[in-house]
């Protein structure tokens, strides 16, 4: 899943794709590089970001969904608002990706009506209330994997009760969302436990602060900025795929596709030698 943010303030690529021509060129490049899904959003989810209303989200996205569909891509709309999701599905999107469990029932009903899939991401509270990147009380979870499995399943049941087929529901543990770096690393390490819930698992480690914090040492002058987190992103992607992730949401599609291809070739050779 490749990312295209039509926002002025996203933590990694805010402002880069506000121009229509730049956005279309970007999504075309993502498809060429190997993205199977394009995740398009118009509201930043960085800590402290302000909500964007439906009309403004729709205005920002403009004709990008239709242009992406014409490229042959499967399009995901990244929004928590049912009005934006309904508009995007009408434009040709086939997936709704929400960073909140709150609208699970309404979005579940909407996706069932359109025959679309729903990605439910675990988070607690709004982006506005988040204190900062990878900043969350360490004791907020008793067992982060078990707590997330329970809270996510409760939301999933609300979506399924509205007629969404089970096979159209995707689990995202929400790396970095209402979680500190230790929580996110723990989720990557134990992702196989979430995969056992029986839903496809999507992870989004791309350029997030937890990958930089995991590599930080007291001798380092500063945490690596988002553009310098590719190595950590790839490490997290490979670890998560090995533990059952079905979809990875990334900014650097070409590099991640290459890493996954090499890992698959190595695994295939090992199985051939067994």
| Paired tokens of 156 | 């999933």
Across the chain, mean pLDDT equals 92
Q: Is residue 195 a contact partner of residue 243, using CB atoms and an 8 Å limit?
A: yes
pLDDT (0 to 100) of residue 7: 83
Residue range 86-131, pLDDT digits in tens: 999 999 999 999 999 999 999 999 999 999 999 999 999 876 666 6
CATH of 2-273, one of 3.50.50.60, 3.65.10.10, 3.20.20.20, 3.40.50.2300: 3.20.20.20
Whose CA is closest to 137, among 173, 178, 175?
Answer: 178
CA dihedral 222, 260, 13, 82 (to 10 degrees): -120
Compare 28 and 7 and report the one with higher pLDDT.
28
The domain limits of the chain are 2-273
The catalytic site residues sit at 208, 249
Cβ-based neighbours of 211, under 8 Å, separated by 6 or more? 205, 229, 232, 233, 235, 236
- Give dist(CA 87, CA 262) in Å, integer: 39
- Give dist(CA 79, CA 251) in Å, integer: 18
Residue range 140-190, pLDDT digits in tens: 999 999 999 999 999 999 999 999 999 999 999 999 999 999 999 999 999
């Amino acid at each position: 899943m490749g990312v295209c943010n039509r926002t002025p303030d996203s933590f990694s690529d805010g402002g880069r794709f506000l121009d229509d021509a730049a956005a279309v060129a970007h999504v075309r490049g993502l498809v060429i590089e190997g993205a199977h899904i394009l995740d398009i959003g118009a509201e930043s989810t960085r800590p402290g970001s302000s909500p964007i209303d439906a009309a403004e989200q729709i205005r920002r996205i403009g004709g990008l969904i239709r242009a992406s569909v014409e490229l042959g891509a499967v399009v995901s709309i990244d929004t928590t608002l049912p009005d934006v999701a309904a508009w995007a599905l009408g434009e040709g999107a086939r997936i709704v990706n929400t960073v909140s469990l709150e609208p699970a029932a309404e979005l579940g009903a909407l996706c069932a009506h359109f025959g679309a899939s729903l990605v439910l991401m675990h988070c607690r509270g709004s982006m506005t209330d988040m204190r900062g990147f990878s900043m969350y009380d360490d004791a907020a979870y008793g067992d982060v994997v078990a707590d997330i499995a329970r809270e996510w399943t409760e939301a999933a049941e609300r979506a399924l009760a509205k007629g969404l087929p089970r096979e159209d529901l995707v689990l995202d543990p929400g790396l970095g969302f209402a979680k500190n770096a230790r929580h996110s690393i723990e989720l990557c390490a134990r992702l196989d436990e979430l995969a056992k819930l029986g839903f496809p698992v999507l992870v989004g480690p791309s350029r997030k602060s937890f990958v930089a914090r995991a590599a930080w040492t007291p001798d380092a002058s500063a945490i690596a900025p988002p553009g310098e987190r590719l190595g950590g992103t790839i490490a997290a992607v490979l670890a998560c795929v090995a533990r059952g992730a079905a979809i990875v949401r990334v900014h650097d599609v070409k590099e991640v596709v290459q890493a996954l291809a090499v890992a698959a070739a190595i695994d295939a050779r090992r199985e051939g030698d067994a």
